Amino acid sequence: MLKKVREPIVEGIFYPSDPEHLKQLIKTLLGESKSPALNIRGLIVPHAGYRYAGTIAADAYKAARNIIVKRVVILAPVHRDETDEIILPESHFFRMPTGMIPVDQDLMDELASCSNRFRKDDIPHLEEHCIEVQLPFIHALFPEADIAPILVGNLVRETANVLGNALTLTCPAEDSQTLFVVSSNMTSYLNGNTAEKESDILLSSILENNPGRIFQGIEDGEISSCGAGCIAVILAYFGKNHTIKLFSQGNSGQTNNNFDERVHYAAIGILA
């Protein structure tokens, strides 16, 4: 059977396209990070270009460097088309400049059988950067791991419940060799004061391990981050018996000096 491959779309834009340059950059970013090695079960990582958030992303991944990972489940928002669906790839591999990363086809099939809210469709994956930017770090630290890339549309509570229940059925919480990664910024592009306020609301809700507060913030218009719903799902999946740790945070203004309109980022771990 012909194997489908999802080709990269933001290499040379969000991260280097040259394999050796990319390997060296990931090595440097991880080497400069001061994050301690912890028993990480989940990570919340920015999906910005490495120029803006590479050091913050490295702070998240560095904390997971000593765990054994056979599968990485990646939850990420859909940026383009409006949909209430949960979109799984048809592709068997995601190609990176540094090599091919296999998709866990068995898990894709299991998730697809859980609800008609799940749909297999490569097109949204071919248009989306927020999973792709995670892959160089995942490939460097866990070269033998499969990935389970999941794009999530508008996360109303009903869809969130479907996704959470499906993950509970197919990825039992006691499976310590599955790492969960949520690809999310703390805000979208907002003016300075609004960005600061929204970031604080989302970040405090995460550190309090309060997914209900995140959903309420989305519904009330206090939280506009496109990945916030995915964060709420993964917090609910793990429950209250897990410690949440902030490794670092920052914003795009620290790179481009535009503090009037900026995006906020954070590196966060969910510990066993």
Q: Per-residue pLDDT averaged across 235-247, rounded?
A: 94
Pairwise pLDDT comparison (224 vs 233), residue with the higher score: 233
Domain extents for the chain?
32-265
pTM of the model: 0.96
Partners of residue 74 on adjacent β-strands: 149, 181
CATH code, 32-265 = 3.40.830.10
What span, in angstroms and rounded, lies between the C-alpha atoms of 191 and 235? 28
Nearest Cα to 149, choosing from 127, 174, 123, 181? Answer: 181
What does the pLDDT average to over 172-186? 91
Residue 241: other Cβ atoms inside 10 A: 8
Yes or no: say if 216 and 201 are a contact pair by the CB < 8 Å rule: no
In the predicted structure, residue 1 carries a pLDDT above the cut 70: no
Q: Which of 94-98, 181-185, 216-220 has the lowest mean pLDDT?
A: 216-220
The string of pLDDT tens digits covering residues 134-162 is: 999 999 999 999 999 999 987 778 888 99
What pLDDT digit, counting tens, does each position of 198-212 carry? Answer: 999 999 999 999 999
